[in-house]
Structures are given as structure tokens and as C-alpha cells.
Amino acid sequence: MSPSTHRTRIKICGLTREADVDAAVAAGADAIGFVLYPKSPRFVAPERAAELARRLPPFVTPVLLFVNENATNIEAACAHVAGATMQFHGDESAADCVAVARTTGRPFMRAARIPAPPAAMPDLVNFTHTFSAAQAILLDAHVDGYGGGGKTFDWTSLPPNVPAHLVLSGGLTPANVSDGIAALRGRGYSLAVDVSSGVECQAEDGKLLKGIKDAGKIHQFVAAVRAADAQVLTAP
């Protein structure tokens, strides 16, 4: 097997500051996510996302996260951020996603919100067929609102064979990401991971400073992912 077979791509999401973008790039992140959902505490305006994205070197992809946004605003945001991938995290239909992908010329990911208990699991294989035009299916825990809850879901409840590139999200941290990779590796065409709250700073009372990242946690997260990849490559 070649090393690329098991290289897990990494996205750091919900960035709002230059220092955090720089830290994510220095740590080796493959993609940087900007939340363009006004109700999110990690929201940045398209113009601010563009300022931050200009700090990215070649081959690090900016990702713009939308929740039930209208096509006009999505097109305007994409015009601000060159080379961005779109991430749809609301109730967008396949037709909605394909239409805006066609007008913007940008690829997109579609989030699948995984509920608890597993008995309530939607038909993920059918979901991936419905959104077959998506570059990847992002798996996140179903929480009130749309994402950003820092909650994991039952990774073992997923089907063994999902016909899509998968992105694992929801409650990942430097401490548990290797377990998530082990649980999902091989279930899709490839696997990536997406972290936000798990690499954020904490206030003195222990609450997260949403949108404010901790450079040390970012480096720890990336190191944990690379260690998980290395275990596969050295396994007998």
C-alpha cells in the first residue's frame, strides 16, 4: 500500500483570526473552514473570510460553510474567496446544491446530521446516492440548530460501505480523533476529519471561546491524526 492510501486529510473549521489561520497552516492542515452562517458564534462575513483566506498558501483549501443560504449570497461569497469549496450544513436539497455548484463553478460537500440513538439513523447509503454530485459527505452529530455542538455520535452505527468520500466531524479532539479514524477508515472511498470546538481556547471558567483557536491544540490534533495514519502503515 502506498502512504497516500491512508493519509487522512484535515480541516480546521470556524476560524476568525489571522493567528489561527497561520497556526493551522503551520501545523499542516489541508483545509481551513470559515462559517458564513450569521447565527453561529463563529460567523465571519464573506469579506472577512476573503481577508483570512488570502493568507493560505497553495494547496490549502478554503471552505465556506453555509446553512440554508440563498443562492445569490452564496454566489457573492464565492466571488470573494478564490478557490473555495462550499459546505452545505442545513436543509439544502440535492437540486439546490447542484444548481449553485453549477453557477459558481465550485465543488461542494454536504453534511449528514447523524442522530442519537442509532435506531434513528437515516439511510446514509441512500443519502450519498441522493447527493452523488458532492465531493464528500460530512458526518456530524445531530444537535439543536446546525452543527457546532461539539458532540460525537456513535461511530460504530455507520454502514460498513458508504459510496462516498467521508469527512468525520462532531466532537473531535486530539484525544479521540485516532479512535474516530480507526472506526471509520475503510467505510468510504477515503476519510478526512474536521475539527472546530476541539481545538478552541477555554476561558478560566472552562467554557470554550468559540472562534478562538488554541495553536497548541491544533498541533496536537494534527499530530494525533498523523500518528493514527502511521499505525496503519506499520501494521503487520
The stretch 29-36 carries a mean pLDDT of 98
pLDDT of 1 reads 32
For residues 221 and 236, give the distance between their C-alpha atoms in angstroms, rounded to a whole number. 25
Per-residue confidence band for 32, with pLDDT thresholds at 50, 70 and 90: very high
CB-based contacts of 69, cutoff 8 Å, min separation 6: 36, 37, 90
CB 84 within 8 A of CB 70: no
Q: Is the pTM of this model over 0.75?
A: yes
pLDDT for 2 equals 37
H or E element that contains 222: helix 215-234
The domain locations on the chain are: 3-234
| More confidently predicted of 120 and 172 | 172
- What is 3-234's CATH topology? TIM Barrel (3.20.20)
- Give the number of other Cβ atoms within 10 Å of residue 3's Cβ: 10
Confidence of residue 235 (pLDDT cuts 50, 70, 90): low
Q: Which residues are catalytically annotated?
A: 13, 140
Alpha-carbon distances of 177 from 161, 174, 204, rounded to whole Å: 20, 6, 25
Q: What is the pLDDT of residue 228?
A: 95
Given a cut of 90, is residue 91 above it in pLDDT?
A: yes
Q: Which tens digit of pLDDT belongs to each residue from 45-82?
A: 999 999 999 999 999 999 999 999 999 999 999 999 99
